[in-house]
Amino acid sequence: GESVGLHLPTLSVQEGDNSIINCAYSNSASDYFIWYKQESGKGPQFIIDIRSNMDKRQGQRVTVLLNKTVKHLSLQIAATQPGDSAVYFCAENGGGGSNYKLTFGKGTLLTVNP
């Protein structure tokens, strides 16, 4: 079946550095991707999304890059702060206006060292 996976299960960075979290997907029909942040004991929090007709989208301190050629998605966090420490999930929507399901990757644990 189609799946979404992550290259790195854990990432440790120094405060102030930039972080890059990667995600690979296998469904070429996926047309919508979302990054979620989940802090310990909380539900996933929406960070940023991107449609398949785009290859880059920027938010506040975050940028999502989409490479459809190699089916790769990444989340870049600028000037990483201790409050960014969390598990980050990518999720993909399988395509088609009526496809409701989001398929989640297993997550990457980001640890920010002060």
**Footprint of other proteins (CB under 8 A):** 31-32, 34, 36, 42-46, 49, 51, 89, 93, 96-107
Judged by beta carbon, residue 60 or residue 100, the one nearer other proteins is 100
Judged by beta carbon, residue 74 or residue 99, the one nearer other proteins is 99
Give the C-alpha separation, 59 to 99, whole Å. Answer: 26
At its nearest, how many Å lie between other proteins and the CB of residue 90? 10
Q: How far apart are the first and last CA of the chain?
A: 41
Judged by beta carbon, residue 42 or residue 83, the one nearer other proteins is 42
Contact 103, 4 (CB under 8 A): yes
At its nearest, how many Å lie between other proteins and the CB of residue 32? 4
Strands (E), 16-101: 19-25, 32-38, 45-51, 56-58, 62-67, 72-77, 86-93
Contact 36, 14 (CB under 8 A): no
At its nearest, how many Å lie between other proteins and the CB of residue 106? 4
At its nearest, how many Å lie between other proteins and the CB of residue 95? 10
